Each structure stands twice: as C-alpha cells, then as structure tokens.
Structure 1
C-alpha cells in the first residue's frame, strides 16, 4: 500500500511539473487527464481490492469525461477532489492523493543513496523510531504513545524492546495511536509479539 501511495505522489508531482506554466503550479486539461489515467492504471495494477480499484477507476474516468474537474487548476484542490472521489467508492482512509512539490525535488536531488540513508537514520533516531512517550500511570497501567511504525533496524528494534521492557510489569498497556501515521508492517508485528 505504501508503494501505491508513493506512486500516486510521484504521479501528481510529475504531471504538475510537466504542465506548469508559472512558478505557481497549475493544471490544464491534458495534465488532469494524465493524472486520472495514471491513477486508474496504478490502482488497477496495485490496489489490493481489485473490484474496488475497477469501480474507483470507472468513477474517476466518468467524472473526467463529464467535465467534473474542468475548472480545477490548482494541484492541491485537484488532489482533494480525486481523494473525495476515491473515498466515495471505497472508504479506505489510507488511499488518498496529496500534492507535494518538494517530494519531486527530494527524489531528484544529487545526494547519493548512502547519504540519504544516513539522513533517514538521523531523522528516525531524532524521532526515537516513533516511540514518543512511555510511562506508568496510576494503578500500574502502562502507557505507550507511538507516532509511527518505523522500518525495522537494529536501533528501531532496540527502541521497541526498551519501551516495552519498561512497561513489562504493568497490569495492562495502553498503546496510543491517535497521532500515528502508520508505517512498517514489520514493526507492527514486532510490537504485537513483544
């Protein structure tokens, strides 16, 4: 699913950059059609719910043909419109489009892969691998606030183990996911079995 979201981010960015006419990105008819068609192709090829992907694709293409998006030139608004239409068919809150002009720039930077990996590790470490808060509440109740499920690495496993070890002797544990943006399924599994 994360791969699909990544493709959709790239899709919006490439389309907008290809058809921008000023420093403020705008979408024309060709760009909107390209975005819709590529979203449909990616959905039908990658989305786990094949029937829903087909229905969503038919809906988006129908809306495009009817001119529903004709007056939308702002890429942020266009992404919002498409997200609304995606969710109208399938209520999957993980499926959405966002416009992020910085995403494309990050993908095109000249920093080597090793340097990007080091930078990502530094960002993950600064966020303590998503383990934002661990405490013992009154009544010997453990509390763990997770802001995300970071990719498994030696350090992320150590952070998970340390947090859960601290809470090991509590009666119960509250895992607070209210601000959790999702992430690595492997980390979810690790936390579940610890």
Structure 2
C-alpha cells in the first residue's frame, strides 16, 4: 500500500513540474493583456518569462508552494495586494462551468446548482451582516464581516437590518474585521447612506475590455435609508479591498468620519482567471475611481483615519464621538442626557484589560513578516509594516489578533532563539524562527 502511494505521489509531482513552465507563460500572457495598468503589466510579464526566474520555479514540486512563491513574486513586481496564484482544482472546475454556461446549455444546469449552493452558503453567513444593534443614546451599530455579491438575494436581509436602525440618530459602521467582497453590492449598500437621489459615486474602467462605466447608487433600495444621519466607520489594519472602497466613497462625499487604524491598502477589483486544470489567477483588472476625487487610496498604504486610534479602542472612541455629535445637534433638547451615556461608555472603555508580560520576552522581536513588542505590559504586533495592534491575551501563552485575518500566536524559547507559532482556525500552524 505504501509503495502504491509513493508511486502515485511521484507521478503527480512529475506532472506539476512538467506543467510549471507552461503555466508561468500563461500567467505572463494573462497579466500582460489584462492587468489594470498596462505599464506595470508589461514589466511583470517580462519578469515572469526570464529564464532565471523560471529555472527557480521549476525546482518546486509542491503545487501549494509553487502558488505561494509565484504569488509573492507577482505582488513584489506589481505592487498589488490582490494579485495571486491559487492551487485549487475544484475551484478551477467551478469557474470553468461558469464560463461554459455562457454558451453551453448542458453547463447551465450545473452552473445553476453551483450558484444555488453559493447563495445558500452566503445566506447562512447572513450575507456578511454580522451584527445590528441600537445602543444607548439612539446610536445604531452595524457590523459587516464581508460584502456579498448576491444583490437580489441579500436585498431582503439588508432591508431588515436597515429597518432595525430606523430609530437611530447616528450610525457606527464596523469594518474592522472586513476583508472585502464583491463590488456588485456597492450600488445597493451605498444607496442606504448616500441620497436621497441616485448618485454617481464612481467610474469603473476595464482596460482589457476597452470599457468605462459610471456607477450610481440605488435610490429605490428596500427598507429605511440613513443618508441624513451622522456616520462613523471603524477600521483596522486588516480592513481590506471592498471594505476600503466603501470607506473611501462615503468619506469622499463627506458622509462619514473614519475612526481606527490605517487600512491595509488593496484597491483594484479582481476576477478569477483559469490558468490550467490545477491553478487560477486572481487578476486585478477592474479600476474603480471615486466620482468626486477622481482617484482612490494608494495601493499598499490604504486609508488614514480621521481619528487615529487602535482597532480595539475604535468602537468606544466612535461611540463617544457619536454621542457628542448628537448632543451638539440636539443642544436644545432636554429629554435625553447624552453625558449620562458618555460616562457609562467611558467606564466600559476602561475595562479593556492590559496584557501580562511574557517571561524573558522583552524589546522588539521580528519573525519574517511579523514584529512583536511589549509596551507597558501589553503585547503589540505589526504585520508587513502595517499599523501596530494590541493583541488580546487568551492566557496559557496564547495571544489573539481579532481582525479580518484572525490569528493566534504563541512563543517558545530554543537554543537558537525564539520560535513563533501562528495558529489559524482552518489549517496547521506556521512555525517561524526569529530573524
């Protein structure tokens, strides 16, 4: 049995290595033709077809490692945080059926099944609506974990959520743990906060199609609209992609105050493009620019908040700002004491516990893309030079980054230095030796 498995593995590994050069050439062709910037596309494509680069990639037998290293090379060469290669034969098949369904009747039935399954999964995730609450002081709170692309199917859920916020006088939109989503939702979602008329909020350009399209908010969205209320958006260092688009557009129209950390900085919308039976390419080929500013935030630098604070403290900071704003707007009203609520919120904010020290772990320590530092008995972390975030102590030596990409960390001391273990919910931990 063991000999049989070894033979299968040898055959499979040889297949991956044999196809590597062909797959890199195909990726170079796609990038050159479709990447959002023509100048950058040519540079990246030229780098991919260099014999020295291909020789290095030909030594990689494992498909996951091949995709990982190629993704890293593409991101360094392009400066784009969305572009990447993914090894997933099952996803490739799903995307292939989607394309075939445009012309094949037989594929359309399978695509209908696939789409129904995706809608069902999105519905189980509440189409990204994580929390809806009305806080003391008539401040609404809406947390979005991602932005779903099923506009028609999600409309009734958004209607219910927005109706729950009808009695609020200000709204906090929490995007701290939001890693993005599908841009098809923008007209519907922004329609609740921009108005009352339909507004041209952005222009979408696709170089590979030679097309340009103006994007407008939906003025006929179902449920209560909130375009006339103070809006506060919470961000973190892992607020990414479409969550950044929502933040940028609402602030550009002077509709929102952004509170929290500088966002990650992923600006270009991407599509999955099939490379082979095993790999697909996340291709940034859609450029969306704001109608007011005629630009967007810078790739890799993201959005700087109006009020900078840690992701952990952002909620209380925004809540207090909302209460102060409402007190100012309702200065003559005597029926509600906003200062009473503010005293409660300040007390709640102070209950954030400090983190105990990790024995012998002092100063700064770097492990590949991660950097850690103790500050006044609290453990802080920066990933890829992004803003520092205070980690939550889970006790027993574990620390937690509770944002879009949720990770846990532990440390161990060896003769060669410190070892970092990075834990994810859905895969084996990564172990990294200190630089």
- TM-score, with length taken from structure 1: 0.74
> How much has 1:65 moved relative to structure 2?
4.9
Query: What is residue 172 of structure 2 aligned with on the other side?
Result: 173
CA contact (8 A) 1:146 1:176 kept: yes
Query: Secondary structure of 1:97's partner?
Result: strand
CA shift digits 1:50-92 (9 cap, x unpaired): 1111111111222655622132111111111111111112222
Query: What is residue 85 of structure 1 aligned with on the other side?
Result: 73
Q: 1:27 aligns with which of 13, 16, 19?
A: 16
Cα 1:170–1:61 shift into 2, 3 Å: farther
Cα 1:108–1:87 shift into 2, 3 Å: closer
Give the structure, 1 or 2, with the largest relative contact order (CA under 8 Å, sep 6 or more): 1
Query: Secondary structure of 1:112's partner?
Result: helix
Note the residue ranges of structure 1 that are not aligned, 5 or more in a row.
1-19
Max radius of gyration: which structure? 2
Query: What is residue 10 of structure 1 aligned with on the other side?
Result: none
Structure with greater proportional strand content: 2
Structure with greater proportional helix content: 1
Instruction: Point out 4+ residue stretches in structure 1 off by more than 3 angstroms.
Output: 20-26, 63-66, 104-111, 137-141
Query: What is residue 121 of structure 2 aligned with on the other side?
Result: 123
Query: Secondary structure of 1:148's partner?
Result: coil
CA contact (8 A) 2:32 2:44 kept: no
**Within 5 A, what are the aligned runs for 1:7-156?**
22=11, 27-28=16-17, 30-62=18-50, 65=53, 67-106=55-94, 112-156=110-154
- TM-score, with length taken from structure 2: 0.36
Note the aligned Cα RMSD (angstroms).
2.8
Query: Between Structure 1 and Structure 2, how many residues are aligned?
Result: 173
How far apart, in 1, do the equivalents of 2:159 and 2:51 lie? 49
How far apart, in 1, do the equivalents of 2:173 and 2:21 lie? 46
Note the residue ranges of structure 2 that are not aligned, 5 or more in a row.
1-8, 98-106, 193-435
Cα 1:25–1:164 shift into 2, 3 Å: farther
